[in-house]
Chain A
């Protein structure tokens, strides 16, 4: 599996669970958009985000992981790093 494909897969899965489970307007999910503000996340939403990430990518993110994530691009980078061939 090439890195590009993995990245695409991460983006698609992320979009799907955000639109379906978090009911986010798909058009707001842009690489440079701020994740927290776009999703309107409160502390309880983070718990649910941890659950869907685990369900979709098989990894568990902690509070320290989210501190490094500002934009959606950061999020994709972080997931790719954790589940990609170099993980």
Chain B
């Protein structure tokens, strides 16, 4: 692979319950601030838990035409906001996008609100014409890539990755592979997640959510012995990935380098995690990066705060890193589980930490259990300069993804 392209990150964008841009989000991460709240309408709808990440809607009326906005589901609004930031940071303007074949790969695995509202309308009106022109474009899983590719006039690779809660991570992994192989020079990667009351009903229904509603900020307790489930959340994250050659040619500010992508499928239970599957993804990422486990300074864990999930991941991290014990934290303790977006947003969060020389805390970690006691979990913010991190993402269906990203050195 010596002739393979090196792949770098030149732009980041984020819109989440921790903030509406990189600066706000970095401040929240550093402060260990939770973005979780209580949403009464969910309770009224019969949810077990009304806890959710609180994500504001971007006002895009001045930026996009009515025709553009009509086609966009909720998650597209977040994704546009994140993509705009990422392109701006990368120094990419519309002129560049029109002259070059820039691709887009986004993780998204539902557009429930658009689907539900369409169903409500057609049941009421008994006439599909009255769904309006936007319903089809909002309802498809690829609503984000359809809309952003049109708005930003992208002419490279263009599709959505639906890999459950690893979708966003796989989008970065696939973008990395396409650039590495020389098939694309630049790809906008990311993940988006709707945050409405229709999006999570069925997930709530299987008892996956924390019901510790009294103090929303304390509900998400990854790795803690008293965790009782995840808190759903969302928004969008975007990253500009490009070949090192392209970045250098443009004189871009290089923020980091993607060096490893490990993927695997458990081939087992649809919702239970699997140690062997996770280990294979982690080891594949390390092998691809060509580094020993002791070179990883920080692990951004997938840990969603479900009893079984966190335990298996803790065992996987311990098995791979052992005595080296890199810092570990799950930013989901602050954000909740950003699902389809999480794999991308957590790379953005980790990039902010790497550039800000700190490890964001795994808040609400008070009492370890047997598995998490073996890890070096950052329960509070740690000022620490680091050069290489690994980000885990695992999803239903047994899909696993691990990404390794390091500080760029020429």
Residues in chain A within 8 A of chain B (CB atoms): 21-23, 42, 44-45, 47-48, 50-51, 54, 60
Contacts and interface: CB of A to CB of B under 8 A. Distances in A.
A72 to B, nearest CB: 19
Contacts of B66: 21-23
B332 to A, nearest CB: 38
Nearest to A54: B130
A71 to B, nearest CB: 22
B130 A51 contact: yes
A45 B67 contact: yes
Contact of B133 (A45, A54, A60): A45
Contact of B132 (A22, A42, A51, A60): A51
14 contacts: A21-B66, A22-B66, A42-B67, A44-B67, A44-B133, A45-B133, A48-B134, A50-B129, A50-B130, A51-B131, A51-B132, A54-B125, A60-B127, A60-B130
A41 to B, nearest CB: 10
B70 interface: yes
Contacts of A23: 65-66
A47 B132 contact: yes
Contacts of A48: 70, 132-134
Contacts of A60: 127, 129-130
Contacts of A54: 125, 130
Contacts of B70: 48
Interface string B2-24: 00000000000000000000000
A31 B131 CA distance: 29
Interface string B51-68: 000000000000001110
B129 A47 contact: yes
Counting chain B CB atoms within 10 Å of each CB, the highest count among A23, A44, A54 belongs to: A44
B375 to A, nearest CB: 53
A24 to B, nearest CB: 9
A50 B130 CA distance: 7
A47 to B, nearest CB: 4
A54 B67 CA distance: 19
Nearest to A24: B66
Nearest to A43: B133
A54 to B, nearest CB: 6
B233 to A, nearest CB: 31
A45 B132 CA distance: 9
Contacts of A44: 67, 133
Interface in B61-89: 65-67, 70
Contacts of A51: 129-132
A45 B129 CA distance: 12
A74 B141 CA distance: 41
A21 B66 CA distance: 8
A44 B130 CA distance: 12
A43 to B, nearest CB: 8
